[in-house]
């Protein structure tokens, strides 16, 4: 019979446990250091970037473009934001067309016996406006002077500037009014004349909702106007 003696087994066991504890501790320390010092970096349309620790979970990213200014939502996987889609309104009889955000609701109205030949309203979430075509025997300047002088609106401020859109000359009105309920409304309007017709594009937004994106939407509509 052979008897095997293991000397100092307690000391060897202690040394082995100490090494394991040291490795585990080193792993934990490295994980903490790395998670605090290494970040993910996100970039959105080259106009916004931010970083976050690698142990953070990015569930959803909400992008308002329209610093803009359109509201776009995207979740994982991270993808480029969608852009606002536009639809086209074309009046065959009136021989004109324009683009508008697809989320807008359009409604065409008739004004019998008036100088307004066509009136197309649009609205969405507090935003509203219209596109009109007027049949006038006098000049655009006369029309605008009469419109402003006879207006019963309470202007908080008012600005009028010449403008040229797709070869047509006209005026851009930028003003703010107080409505009957005491609420301030931001208003942008463009008036263009071709022959004996005036094309009016109007856009109204509550003052607190007005921003650069709303202005962009307005001029997207204006610049899309085509007369056949």
DSSP string spanning the chain?
------TTHHHHHHHHHHHHHHHHHHHHHHHHHHHHH-EEEEEETTTEEEEEETT----EEEEETTTT--EEEEESSP-PPPPPPEEEEEETTTTEEEEEETTSEEEEE--TTSSEEEEEEEEETTEEEEEEEEE-SS-HHHHHHHHHHT----EEEEEEEEEEETTEEEEEEEEEEE-TTS-EEEEEEEEEEETTEEEEEEEEEEGGG--HHHHHHHHHHHHT-EE-
In the CATH scheme, what is the code of domain 86-227?
A: 3.40.1000.10
pLDDT the model gives residue 69: 47
Region 35-49: mean pLDDT is 57
**Which of 22-26, 73-77, 87-91, 224-228 shows the lowest per-residue confidence on average (mean pLDDT)?**
73-77
106 CB contacts (<8 Å, ≥6 apart)? Answer: 89, 100, 120, 121, 122
pLDDT the model gives residue 26: 79
Choose among 198, 227, 199, 203: nearest CA to 216.
Answer: 203
pLDDT the model gives residue 77: 42
Query: Which stretch, 53-57, 60-64, 91-95, 112-116, has highest mean pLDDT?
Result: 91-95
Q: 154 vs 36, which has greater pLDDT?
A: 154
Using alpha carbons, list the distances in angstroms from residue 195 to 52, 90, 98, 200. Answer: 59, 20, 19, 14
Residues 101-140: tens digit of each pLDDT: 999 999 999 887 789 999 999 999 889 999 999 998 889 9
pTM > 0.85: yes or no: no
Q: How confident is the model at residue 40 (pLDDT cuts 50, 70, 90)?
A: low
Asked if residues 67 and 212 have their Cβ atoms less than 8 Å apart, the reply is yes
pLDDT the model gives residue 74: 43
pLDDT the model gives residue 68: 46
Q: 43 vs 20, which has greater pLDDT?
A: 20
The answer on pLDDT for 54 being more than 70 is no
CA distance linking residue 228 with residue 97, whole number of Å:
8
Asked if residues 216 and 66 have their Cβ atoms less than 8 Å apart, the reply is yes
Asked if residues 128 and 122 have their Cβ atoms less than 8 Å apart, the reply is yes
Q: How confident is the model at residue 214 (pLDDT cuts 50, 70, 90)?
A: very high
Residues 158-208: tens digit of each pLDDT: 999 999 999 999 999 999 999 888 899 999 999 999 999 999 999 999 999
Burial of 171 (0-12, 13-18, 19+ CB in 10 A): middle
């Amino acid at each position: 019979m052979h008897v095997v003696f293991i000397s100092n087994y307690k000391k060897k066991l202690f040394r082995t446990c100490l090494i394991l504890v040291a490795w585990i501790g080193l792993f934990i320390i490295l994980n903490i250091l790395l998670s605090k010092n290494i970040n993910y970096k996100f970039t959105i349309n080259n106009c916004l970037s931010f970083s976050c620790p690698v142990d953070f979970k990015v569930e959803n990213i909400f992008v308002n473009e329209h610093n803009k200014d359109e509201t776009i939502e995207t979740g994982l996987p991270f993808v480029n934001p969608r852009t606002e889609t536009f639809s086209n309104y074309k009046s065959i009889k009136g021989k004109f067309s324009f683009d508008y955000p697809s989320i807008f609701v359009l409604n065409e109205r008739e004004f019998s016996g008036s100088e307004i030949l066509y009136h197309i309203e649009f609205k969405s979430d507090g935003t509203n406006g219209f596109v009109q075509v007027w049949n006038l025997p006098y000049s655009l300047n006369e029309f605008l002077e009469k419109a402003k002088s006879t207006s019963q609106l309470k202007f908080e401020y008012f600005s009028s500037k010449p403008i040229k859109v797709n070869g047509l000359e006209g005026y851009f009105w930028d003003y703010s009014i107080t409505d009957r309920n005491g609420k301030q409304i931001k208003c942008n309007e463009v008036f263009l004349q071709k022959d004996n017709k005036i094309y009016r594009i109007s856009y109204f937004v509550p003052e607190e909702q007005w921003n650069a994106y709303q202005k962009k939407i307005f001029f997207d509509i204006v610049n899309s106007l085509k007369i056949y």
